Amino acid sequence: MKTNWQTLTEPTLLLDTRIAKRNLQRMAEKAKRAGVVLNPHFKTHQSAEIGEWFRAAGISRISVSSLLMAEYFAGHGWNDITVLFPVNVRDLSRIKRLSASVSLTLNVISLGSARFLVEEVMQPVNLIVEVEAGYGRTGISVNDGDKIEKLLHYLQQQNRHRFYGFYIHAGHTYDVAGPEEVAEIHLQTLAALGQLKGRWMADFTELKIDMGDTPGCSIMEGFSGIHAIHPGNFIFYDLTQGAVGACEISDIAVCMACPVVAKEESRNEIVVHGGAVHFSKDWLTTAGDSGTQMIFGRPVQLSADRWGAPIPGGFVRKLSQEHGIIRLGREAFEEIQVGDLIGVLPVHSCLTADCMGKYLTEEGELLNMMPWRNRA
């Protein structure tokens, strides 16, 4: 059944497939130009149907953020999967099942996890060692030479699993003011990875160096020494990516349709059905009229099959469980009525998509996502 966007009655995540496919094509072409493999992260869209667009673009290796997600995509015909999340040793049975059915690459960042995989998982897997250069999420610090030495010496001595190489997610590119800082981090990251490669390539002649992060992959052209890139968010982009200069606002491919349920004259604010259960609750800090302002989305006008540019001066000021409070300029406020539908561009499309679990395209078709909340 096809649904026209204008007939929607409740919060619905819209996907403009024209924009998303353009984003995909652009990244695929960039990877080709740069001579790197595009090994896209599927944690953003989490959808077998969207995965097929990647397959059509020639992609054969993919990345995911959990074993469960690996299982979902393995069930949809993907057979070379990298899990870019530190291996969860409690989930041994899932690792065994997956390693028996696909070419599996697991992320190890400690000697203990490496030992565990050598001792407990008989089917060969690839091991990718995550390093970090200042982001402070996960990975062995590139400066912790000792820890890297011990882990790699252990990997040399065993012959059950194959050491793939190093991976770095320069996630601090999300916390910067603009593209110059992203570029600086990107160059530092390349330099750190280059040193690592220099140190180890005599011992591991097939050693590869991979990197993630959509800002770096979007802004930069050069990927010297890199084998594969693993961006994920670029398929949809969002306001956060716009803020760091990784995309134009017109590159954002998802938007929440929200029914307007109230108007507050004294504050030029509208209340919409569309809250933290729909968007999640990530925020962006921007310079506002009265100092810095946390915002949770940007309103746009919706038509039957597309949305416009952000309404000037408009922003989502607050999200509670089901309510969104949107501040507007006076003119836009006066034009909108209770019962209208308004679009909201998300701050963080990965979390918003995960909250909603499906997409409604401009053709009125529903695309499903991995139903991870429903498993027994």
291 binds a copy of itself (CB under 8 A): no
262 binds a copy of itself (CB under 8 A): yes
The size of the interface with a copy of itself (CB under 8 A), counted in residues, is 63
128 binds a copy of itself (CB under 8 A): no
Looking up tokens 């160096």 gives 209
User: What number of other Cβ atoms are within 10 A of residue 286's Cβ?
Assistant: 13
Residue 59, token pair as written in the block? 């992609």
CB of 24 or CB of 272, closer to a copy of itself: 272
Cα–Cα distance for residue pair 33/36, rounded to 1 Å? 8
350 binds a copy of itself (CB under 8 A): yes
Nearest to 300, CA basis, from 314, 286, 281: 314
Cα–Cα distance for residue pair 68/74, rounded to 1 Å? 10
With CB under 8 A as the contact rule, the residue among 23, 65, 82, 105 that binds a copy of itself is 65
318 binds a copy of itself (CB under 8 A): yes
Write out the binding residues for a copy of itself, residues 132-151 only, by CB under 8 A. Answer: 136-138, 141, 144
105 binds a copy of itself (CB under 8 A): no
The SS3 assignment for 269 reads strand
211 binds a copy of itself (CB under 8 A): no
Contact (Cβ atoms closer than 8 angstroms) between residue 239 and residue 346: yes
User: What number of other Cβ atoms are within 10 A of residue 368's Cβ?
Assistant: 13
With CB under 8 A as the contact rule, the residue among 34, 89, 191, 201 that binds a copy of itself is 89
362 binds a copy of itself (CB under 8 A): no
User: DSSP of 148-206, one letter per residue?
Assistant: HHHHHHHHHH--SSEEEEEEE--GGGGGSSSHHHHHHHHHHHHHHHHHHHHHHTTT-TT
176 binds a copy of itself (CB under 8 A): no
Looking up tokens 């999420």 gives 137
Which range touches a copy of itself (CB under 8 A), out of 183-191, 202-210, 299-307, 337-345?
A: 337-345
- To a copy of itself, the closest distance from the beta carbon of 356 in angstroms equals 7
2 binds a copy of itself (CB under 8 A): no
The SS3 assignment for 363 reads coil
Binding site for a copy of itself (CB under 8 A): 8-10, 43, 65-66, 68, 85-91, 93-94, 109-110, 112-113, 116, 136-138, 141, 144, 171, 259, 261-264, 266-267, 271, 273, 276-277, 280-282, 318, 320-323, 325, 337-339, 341, 350-351, 354-358, 366, 371, 373-374, 376
